[in-house]
Each structure stands twice: as structure tokens, then as C-alpha cells.
Structure 1
Amino acid sequence: MKKKAVFALMTLFLLSGCWDSTNIEELNMAIGYGLDKGDDGHKLKISMQVLVPQKIEQESSVKDPTKIIETSGDSVHQIFRTTTLKSHRIFAQQLRVYLFSEELINENNFDLVINQFIRDNETRRGSLVFMTSEKPGDLLKINDAGQPASSTLYDLSANTKSTIRMFKPVSLGDISSAMQNNVSFAVPKVGVDQGKLILDGASIIKNRRFLTSISPLAVQSYNLLTGDGKGGVIEFEYDHSIYSFEIFKLKHNIETNKTASGKYQFNVSVALEGRLSEDWNERENAFNEKYLQEIEGVVERRIEKNVKDFIGELQHEIKADICGFSQKASIAYPKDFRKEAKHWDEIFSESDIRYKANVKIRDFGTKGATQSL
């Protein structure tokens, strides 16, 4: 079914105009780019995942309807022109993902690497961007039961309502905007788990270079700090038992103030409503209001501790504001911020950030007390 849909899309693309029509056998439609350090002394290598019409037309025995075209060079534009020496012209109007190696962005300014993509009128600024510590070209060769890697990554990024440990999707346009505003930011990171692609935390960009990575658990704290979390499960241990709290609703608020000494103070509050979806305590009694209040208090304290630890890591170890506090400061104190923008990460590292969580269990499923009542 997926192959039929792709074939139909390609057919519509060709029918959009006939004066410069291209035979379908000669059409290369890129759905993913992987950018890495170049081979043989070159600055860059681009791995292009391209749909192959002949493979789509074949029987379902074809495991992956794409091919990988890899070319090294010293500029993106020249790499594309060099690629035409060994392949038909590549169309990128349906490009879904960019996958950058952390090593490449550690050694080159991110804005320079994407410069050609931003300048090109045919580039889709909505294409999603990912980072990896692996070789991007190798990851693009991983398929999941016939689904190309680029499609897999694109689909995985839509699961933010299912897990709070996933970093929000980031587009090429988002990255361009962040670098124009000279702010630190983060990008979803891709890894491999048992031969399958996995979204594995996030990569932090500071001063246009890759700085460090954070784990999925740290991403959970990020989502609870910024309010970007849309759903998912918070797992915790209490009284020698495992619990799971499923988020139904998340409300987020930030109050921005400045002390007499000029120090920023951010008061962050989050209100969570959800369900006690799992409880391994043999003495549990979810029908008891005091029991639920006890668990609510436990969830609040665990969230607050984890988020405060994460804030400390951002301020004192990473020293980068990837959470958007700069935007809050620019809105609350626009005149001051214009003077502070160039060294905002240093100001952020000295700011007073307070965090408070309020948790309410609205549901505990069809199960109540396991003990005799």
C-alpha cells in the first residue's frame, strides 16, 4: 500500500506540467539527505536517499524502494552538480529529513553547512532535521520492513503525544531562525537499537557548533520545564514499587521578573492531570483518596527534583539556554535584552529559575484496591 501511494505521488508530480516532462525511469526523487565529513580530504559528504521508480513497480519482494547516492566535495552546491555525473537529476521537492553528523557540526558552523539549502528556492524549509553520532549514510541504509529510513524518522517524530521522552520536531526553518537570532538550541538525535532506528535524546547547538548531547530522560525534564510535552508516561519508584503516571493534560506558565541588581528570575509552574496507569505496590488502594494524594505528592517531588537537576546541568555544566528563556526575557524587558542578547547564555547561567509542579490523578483505570476491603 505504501509503495502504491508513493507511485501515485510521483505520477501526480509528473503530470503537473508536460513542457519539460521527465520519463519516470529517469526521475530521482530525494526523500532524505545525510551530511557527514567528506572522504579523501573533502569537507563534506552527502548521502541522498532517493526513490527508485523501477523498484516501486516491482513485486513486494523488494525490501526498500530507495537507493543511496553518496558524493563528497567541498561545497553543497558542487556536490549536487558532481552527483549528476553519475545519476539522473535529483528532485528534492518531497524531501522529508536532513540527518547531520555531530562530528561535522562540531567542526563547521551549522549555518554555513545549511547555507545552500536556505538559499535554494526549491528547498522545503519544513523538512525535519536530526543529528547523530553515527554515520548518516549508514543510518539511511537501515529500513524497517521495507520502509525507508527517511520515512521512518519522519513518522517517529509524530509520536510526541505517546512519549514525553521525545524531543519536539525541529525543521530547517526553525534552525535557520535560531541561528539568525544567535540563540542556543537543540535538535532530535538519532541512534540505533538492535538494528532499528531510534530517537535517542537531543543534540545541543551553541555558537553554531555541536556542543553535547542529552539523554531521553533529560528530554523528559526539558519537556516538563518548557511545557512542550504533549503526553506520555512518567515512570518512578516509591516504597520499593514501580509506578506509571500517564499524562492527559499539561498546563505551563512562566513569570519573568528582574531583581534590583538586574538578575533575571523565572518562576515556572506546570499543572499535570493524568492517570495512575500502573502500580506495582501490593498494598495499593487507588479507591482511597489519601493514597492517591500520597502518590500525587510523590510524582510532584520526583518531577521537581529531576527538572531542577536538569536546570542545574544547563546552567552550570552545559551553560546554554535551549529552553527559550531568552524569548521570555525579550518580551518582558525588550530594551534590556537588546543589550544582553549577545551574551545571553552567560546571563541565563546566572539567572534564578524556580520550578513548581502540581499533579492531579483523575483516573486509575478499572483497577482499585488489591487488598481486602
Structure 2
Amino acid sequence: MNRYIRYTSLLAASILLLLTTGCWSSNEIEDVSVYVGLGLDTANESSFERDINKQGATYPKKKVLTATVQIVPPIAGKNEKQGGSSSSSPSKAYLNEQLTGDSIIQIFRQFALRRDRPLIGHHLKVIVVSSELAKRYSLEQVFDFILRDNDIRPSCLVVVSHRSALEALSSTEPGEIPAFYLMGLVDNRYRSNKIIPPVTLIKLDSAMQSGESFLLQNVVTAQSEHKFSGAAIFKGKTKKWIGELSQYDLEGLSWITADVMGGALKTYAPKTGHTVTFEPKKSHSTIVPKIQGDEISFHIKVNAEGRLIEDWSFPEIPSSGGYISEMEQQFEEEARKQIEQVLNKMQHVYHVDVGGFGNELRIKHPKVWKKVQENWDETFSHIPITYEVNMRITDFGSSTD
């Protein structure tokens, strides 16, 4: 019996030793360069690249794009110029490095020639694509290597920069890491309906495979500060940038897609002209496709509840039933204006469906969808769309009136 217990204990100890050993193929964090942001711009060689090219330190390539990797933490003591090979200073928590070429994987391998610590993309948080690059090349081309690479997680956020991606990944704020900052803005969706649902790599791949037109959040930069503003539109057939929706347009789109998680709907009191603001708390919408013979039409129903959160028309009495009814009508009219504007842009300016109309038609009338899906964006541009909006003011915040 003692011998049996001894053998059992020895076997259990051996199994535990095997289970608790570290990964044999792991790399220590101190021996690698962790990049958390990736920027993709049209080709613009840095001064560092131009200088080394004069010395013959180049290889056969076309000048197609410039890739920026944002590395954290920067190497202690490394302090080189922004836009050159790197950007780091005692006050910066990140390092931006750039290289230019016509193959992203080849550019990444070139970093091995200039960094003693190889790049790893396991912790990549944000990919920023400049609108200029997205105008010239399909996202399928630009993201081909990124979607194939096992190092990059499919949960990585993808956004579009109105100007250069390098600007969107740069900051003068001490201790700020722009890649983390951009990720943090997405978390504010519950505060604003001007932020679209985050588009990750896996969602981007799915959108491109579906052939439908889609949106990516737009980032604007001024004086080294960044802001989400509107969304970039990508044509389903080409996967190229074709235009933008404004912040106001996104508000209208959020009513259509029932994606209102917060925000503020502002209008003006009819009698005084003063500002009055509605804060939506609950919102529901339905897109109803209607089929009559070969004719397709849509009807949108929007219902929202919320609070009258700000009213500059004092001394009006918010508790007055007539006044509340009047303001509900004003808010409904403002929401209808937002919806009308975004529908006009989708149908008559850009000729794309980025509001989910095709998906509703596919679900409710699959046979009809099969007939029109091949050229849906153009078909959608001529389809009649009607809408109705109902707003209810359910409370008045902490007002004692």
C-alpha cells in the first residue's frame, strides 16, 4: 500500500511539473518591442529614410504607403526627432517609428534591421488608416496581411483619420498614449450618439466579405489633439473611401438604427427662441420593408423617451401639459430633420446603404432580396422611404418646478 501511494505521489508530482512549466517558445517582455498602434498613410518617407537611402541602405520597392508603429514603453534614453525614425522624449510614454514601402509585412521585417528588439503585435489596440490612402487603395488590399497575421488580434479597433494617421497617433500631452486614448473614446458611446459601434478587425473583414457598404469612425486632429467627428463611408463594391457623414448625420442615423445610447437632442422654443434640450433614455426603431409587385419601399418608425434636461426659456413652466406637448413636437421635428438629411446623403449624394435597409429586406423578403442584392446600393438610391417619429418627455431631471 505504501509503495502504491509513493508511485501515485511521484506520478502526480511529475504531471504538476509538466503543467506548471512556462511556454518554451515565449519571449521575455524586455526582449521585444510591443506596438499598440498602427498608422497607415500614403507614402511619405521620413528624413531618416531619405538620409539612409542616400547611403545605399535601400531595397527594391515602390513608394505606396508609410507605416507608423506606436511602441510602448519607449526605450530609455532614446530621444530622436518626430517624423524621423522615432519620436520619444522624457515626457512621452510612447515611441512612433515609420518606414515606407509597398508591402506591410516587408516593412515590418525591415524594422528588424534597425531595432534590436523585434516587433510583436499581440497587444495592438488601434489601426488608423488615412482617408487619402483609403481613396487610392481598397481596404482589402491594405488589410490583406493584417487579416492573415496571427500576431494581430481580431478585436483590434479600426478608425479613419481625416488627415494623416501619424497625426492621429501623436500627442504632446505628457504621459498620454494616443492608441489608448482613441480606444477610450469608444467607451463614451453611452454619452453620445455621434459615436458609431466600434468596428474591429473581425467586423471589418465581415463587412468587406458581405459586399455591403459600411462606415468607419472618423478621427480629426488639430494642435495635437484628437476628436471623433462623423464617419467615413466605404463603398461595398470597391472597399474604398468615398465620403463622410457629419456628426449631425450620425445623430440621424442613430435614430434609424435604434442605436441611441445617449447624447442630446437640441431645439428652440417656438415663442422665445431659447435653447431647449432633450436627453434620450430609451429609443426603439423599426425599418419596415413594403413590397407591392416589383416596387420596394421602406417605412421607419422611431419611438423615444427621455428627459427635458435643459431649458433656457424660463420663466415658462416645464410642468405645463401644453408646453410639454409643444416641446415634444419640436423634438420630433428636429429628429425628422436629422433623419431626412442622412437619408438624402445616403440615397442622393453617395448612393450607399449604410443604415441596414438591405439587411431588413433580406430578413423579411429573402426572395426579393436575391433579385436586387447584386446592385443594391444603386437600387436603394431610388427607393421611397417614409418615417414617423414619436418623442415622449417622461421627466425633467432634478427640476423643482
* Fold match (TM-score > 0.5): yes
Q: Is the 8 A contact 2:161 2:168 kept in 1?
A: no
Moved more, 200-209 or 47-56: 47-56
1:83 maps to what in 2? 111
Measure, in 2, the Cα distance between the counterparts of 1:79 and 1:221.
41
Q: Offset at 1:16?
A: 9.2
1:272 maps to what in 2? 304
Q: Is the 8 A contact 2:167 2:224 kept in 1?
A: no
Decide whether aligned partners of structure 1 residues 179 and 231 sit closer, same or farther in structure 2, where only a CA change above 3 A counts. same
Measure, in 1, the Cα distance between the counterparts of 2:70 and 2:260.
31
Q: Offset at 1:121?
A: 2.1
Question: How is 1:144-159 mapped onto 2 (pairs within 5 angstroms)?
Answer: 144-159=173-188
Question: Is 1:28–2:33 an aligned residue pair?
Answer: yes
Identity %: 28
Count of aligned positions: 350
Secondary structure of the corresponding residue to residue 124 of structure 1: coil
Q: Is the 8 A contact 1:250 1:272 kept in 2?
A: yes
Measure, in 2, the Cα distance between the counterparts of 1:202 and 1:16.
47
Q: Is the 8 A contact 1:182 1:342 kept in 2?
A: no
Deviations 1:246-295 (A, max 9, x none): 111111212122122x2222211111111100001023211111111110
Q: Is the 8 A contact 1:66 1:148 kept in 2?
A: yes
Amino acid at match of 2:398: T
Amino acid at match of 2:44: D
Secondary structure of the corresponding residue to residue 287 of structure 2: strand
Secondary structure of the corresponding residue to residue 169 of structure 1: coil
Structure showing greater radius of gyration is 2
Question: Is 1:49–2:70 an aligned residue pair?
Answer: yes
Measure, in 1, the Cα distance between the counterparts of 2:311 and 2:21.
56
1:139 maps to what in 2? 168
Amino acid at match of 1:29: V
1:301 maps to what in 2? 333
Question: Of the candidates 278, 284, 290, which is equivalent to residue 322 of structure 2?
Answer: 290
CA RMSD of aligned residues (A): 2.0
Measure, in 2, the Cα distance between the counterparts of 1:342 and 1:39.
38
2:83 maps to what in 1? none
Amino acid at match of 2:288: E
Question: How is 1:222-261 mapped onto 2 (pairs within 5 angstroms)?
Answer: 222-239=253-270, 240-260=273-293
Measure, in 2, the Cα distance between the counterparts of 1:324 and 1:158.
23
Secondary structure of the corresponding residue to residue 72 of structure 1: strand
Measure, in 1, the Cα distance between the counterparts of 2:172 and 2:211.
36
Q: Is the 8 A contact 1:24 1:53 kept in 2?
A: no
Q: Is the 8 A contact 1:248 1:274 kept in 2?
A: yes
Q: Offset at 1:26?
A: 2.6
Decide whether aligned partners of structure 1 residues 330 and 294 sit closer, same or farther in structure 2, where only a CA change above 3 A counts. same
Question: How is 1:174-253 mapped onto 2 (pairs within 5 angstroms)?
Answer: 174-206=203-235, 207-239=238-270, 240-253=273-286
Decide whether aligned partners of structure 1 residues 193 and 293 sit closer, same or farther in structure 2, where only a CA change above 3 A counts. farther
Measure, in 2, the Cα distance between the counterparts of 1:195 and 1:22.
34
Q: Offset at 1:32?
A: 0.8
Q: Is the 8 A contact 1:30 1:95 kept in 2?
A: yes
Q: Offset at 1:194?
A: 4.7
Q: Is the 8 A contact 2:309 2:396 kept in 1?
A: yes
Q: Offset at 1:355?
A: 1.4
Secondary structure of the corresponding residue to residue 113 of structure 2: coil
Measure, in 2, the Cα distance between the counterparts of 1:192 and 1:46.
18
Decide whether aligned partners of structure 1 residues 285 and 200 sit closer, same or farther in structure 2, where only a CA change above 3 A counts. same
2:358 maps to what in 1? 326
Measure, in 1, the Cα distance between the counterparts of 2:21 and 2:214.
38
Decide whether aligned partners of structure 1 residues 16 and 137 sit closer, same or farther in structure 2, where only a CA change above 3 A counts. farther
1:6 maps to what in 2? none
Q: Is the 8 A contact 2:125 2:179 kept in 1?
A: yes
Measure, in 1, the Cα distance between the counterparts of 2:247 and 2:340.
16
Q: Is the 8 A contact 1:285 1:368 kept in 2?
A: no
Q: Is the 8 A contact 2:74 2:95 kept in 1?
A: no
Q: Is the 8 A contact 1:143 1:149 kept in 2?
A: no
Amino acid at match of 2:280: I
Secondary structure of the corresponding residue to residue 381 of structure 2: helix
Q: Is the 8 A contact 1:247 1:275 kept in 2?
A: yes
In structure 1, list runs of 5 or more residues that go unmatched: 1-14
Spell out structure 1 runs of 4+ moving beyond 6 A.
Answer: none
Decide whether aligned partners of structure 1 residues 273 and 193 sit closer, same or farther in structure 2, where only a CA change above 3 A counts. farther
Q: Is the 8 A contact 1:250 1:270 kept in 2?
A: yes
Per the normalisation by structure 1, the TM-score is 0.89
Amino acid at match of 1:210: W
Q: Offset at 1:305?
A: 2.2
Moved more, 232-241 or 74-83: 232-241
Q: Is the 8 A contact 1:102 1:132 kept in 2?
A: yes
Q: Is the 8 A contact 1:189 1:201 kept in 2?
A: yes
Q: Offset at 1:54?
A: 5.0
Amino acid at match of 1:25: E
